[in-house]
């Protein structure tokens, strides 16, 4: 079956799904883009074919020189605002978009990812169900793959029942970025971060008393392909995560919390991506050393255990010497 016969190319959400007697909250979606002409049309259609009655769709392109601009122009009558000009990268583009946004609910969808049908309706209904919706962090599940018909993983979401700043710091509260929506605010994404700006943003929201709400639904599709930023430079990504953890840990005065956070982050790092140690740069080793020194200071026994674990990885050959 060719893709033109599949969502989001056809079978748009029926307008009748939205009760005309309901005041649907405005949802602002930002798509940062740069040279994703192979995928951006599917991204755009997955937003527009929601047929959500109160949507503000903004595309911030970094000056693409492929087919991206031609595709955007194809749909510009349904796009609230778009621009194509050089920027300082993805995070800067996201911030540029949110400066223009006027909705009650915010989200960003990268130019190679997509929403599933009825995603915006489900989010809006959850938003409306809350008596106080001024500080909500709504998230759902996500599927990964090359396209909708070639999935690599089942639904992914928060690993624990809780989604708190503490769990996020420990690496347990990581949510799939395309499936996250939040109450509008003036907070900016940290443009010094290239890979973990969303992780940092969720932490700041949770630390600002945002209420997490998990929807038991698949809201988005995250595309895994060789050109995707998430498929590249995992070493740098983990350096950012470690650096953020060492920043956040000062927010937890309890010694037990500090020990558990450092221990969880170390074990997750070593188990999740052993390749980091195989190809770690000098700065990568420096970050790991900082973590171990902090851990030894807080809890020498746990520090020794983790050091032995690392040595065992080297001896086993899993990590190269």
182: number of Cβ within 10 Å: 21
Residue 164 and residue 102 share a domain: yes
Quick one: average pLDDT of 20-42? Answer: 97
Residue 138 and residue 46 share a domain: yes
Instruction: Provide the number of structural domains found in the chain.
Output: 2
3 state DSSP class of 305: helix
Residue that terminates a domain, selected from 205, 230, 255: 230
Locate all alpha helices (DSSP H) within the chain, ordered by sequence: 40-48, 68-74, 90-100, 119-129, 165-170, 197-206, 234-248, 255-272, 275-279, 282-298, 300-316
Residue that terminates a domain, selected from 230, 260, 285: 230
Residue 279 sits in which domain range? 233-316
User: In terms of Cα–Cα distance, which of 12, 18, 2, 29 is closest to 117?
Assistant: 12
Q: Is residue 10 part of a domain?
A: no
Could you give the CA distance from residue 149 to residue 143 in angstroms, rounded to a whole number? 11
Q: Is residue 16 part of a domain?
A: no
Residue 62 and residue 170 share a domain: yes
Residue 109 and residue 163 share a domain: yes
Tens of pLDDT, residue by residue over 229-256, are 544 456 567 667 777 887 888 888 888 8
Tens of pLDDT, residue by residue over 63-118, are 999 999 999 999 999 999 999 999 999 999 999 999 999 999 999 999 999 999 99
Q: Is residue 260 part of a domain?
A: yes
Confidence grade of residue 273 (pLDDT, cut at 50, 70, 90): very low
Residue 240 and residue 226 share a domain: no
Residue 254 and residue 156 share a domain: no
User: pLDDT averaged over the chain?
Assistant: 84
Residue 256 and residue 224 share a domain: no
Q: Is residue 14 part of a domain?
A: no
- What confidence score (pLDDT) does residue 188 get? 97
- What confidence score (pLDDT) does residue 272 get? 47
Q: Is residue 297 part of a domain?
A: yes
Burial of 289 (0-12, 13-18, 19+ CB in 10 A): exposed
Residue 240 and residue 223 share a domain: no
Q: Above pLDDT 70, what percent of the chain?
A: 74
Residue 72 and residue 119 share a domain: yes
- What confidence score (pLDDT) does residue 178 get? 95
Residue that terminates a domain, selected from 204, 230, 256: 230
185: phi then psi, degrees, rounded to nearest 5: -155, 180
Q: Which residue has the tokens 């001896």?
A: 315
Q: Is the pLDDT of residue 173 over 60?
A: yes
* Domain CATH number, residue 88: 3.90.550.10
Q: Is residue 288 part of a domain?
A: yes
Retrieve residue 217's tokens: 């639904």
Residue 278 and residue 146 share a domain: no
Residue 74 and residue 207 share a domain: yes
Given the DSSP bridges, would you call strands 27-33 and 105-108 parallel, antiparallel or unpaired? parallel
Confidence grade of residue 195 (pLDDT, cut at 50, 70, 90): confident
Q: Is residue 62 part of a domain?
A: yes
Could you give the CA distance from residue 209 to residue 243 in angstroms, rounded to a whole number? 23
Given the DSSP bridges, would you call strands 180-183 and 211-223 parallel, antiparallel or unpaired? unpaired
Residue 102 and residue 244 share a domain: no
Q: Is residue 310 part of a domain?
A: yes
Confidence grade of residue 167 (pLDDT, cut at 50, 70, 90): confident
The residues, ordered by sequence, that sit 6+ positions from 301 with a Cβ below 8 Å of its Cβ are none
- What confidence score (pLDDT) does residue 231 get? 45
pTM: 0.84
The residues, ordered by sequence, that sit 6+ positions from 95 with a Cβ below 8 Å of its Cβ are 188, 189, 191
Q: Are residues 103 and 70 in contact, defined by beta-carbon separation less than 8 angstroms?
A: no
């Amino acid at each position: 079956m060719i893709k033109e016969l599949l969502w989001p190319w056809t079978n748009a959400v029926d307008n009748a799904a939205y009760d005309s007697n309901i005041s649907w909250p405005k949802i602002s979606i930002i798509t940062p883009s740069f040279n994703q002409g192979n995928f951006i049309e599917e991204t755009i259609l997955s937003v527009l074919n929601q047929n959500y009655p109160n949507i503000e769709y903004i595309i911030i392109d970094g000056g693409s020189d492929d087919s991206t601009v031609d595709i955007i122009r194809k749909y510009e009558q349904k796009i609230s605002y778009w621009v194509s000009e050089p920027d300082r990268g993805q995070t800067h583009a996201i911030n540029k978009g949110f400066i223009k946004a006027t909705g009650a609910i915010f989200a960003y969808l990268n130019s190679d990812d997509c929403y599933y049908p009825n995603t915006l309706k489900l989010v809006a209904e959850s938003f409306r169900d809350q008596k106080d919706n001024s500080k909500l962090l709504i998230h759902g599940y996500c599927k990964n793959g090359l396209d909708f018909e070639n999935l690599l993983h089942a639904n992914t979401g928060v690993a624990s029942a809780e989604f708190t700043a503490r769990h996020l710091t420990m690496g347990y509260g990581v949510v799939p970025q395309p499936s996250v929506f939040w109450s509008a605010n003036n907070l900016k994404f940290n443009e010094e971060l290239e890979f973990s700006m969303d992780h940092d943003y969720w932490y700041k929201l949770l630390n600002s008393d945002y209420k997490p709400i998990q929807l038991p639904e698949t809201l988005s599709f995250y595309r895994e392909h060789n050109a995707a930023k998430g498929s590249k430079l995992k070493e740098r990504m983990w350096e950012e995560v470690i650096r953020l953890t060492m920043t956040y840990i000062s927010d937890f005065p309890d010694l037990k919390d500090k020990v558990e956070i450092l221990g969880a982050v170390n074990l997750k790092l070593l188990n999740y991506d052993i390749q980091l140690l195989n190809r770690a740069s000098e700065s990568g080793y420096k970050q790991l050393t900082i973590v171990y020194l902090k851990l030894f200071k807080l809890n020498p026994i746990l520090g020794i255990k983790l050091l032995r674990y690392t040595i065992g990885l080297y001896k086993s050959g899993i990590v190269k010497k």
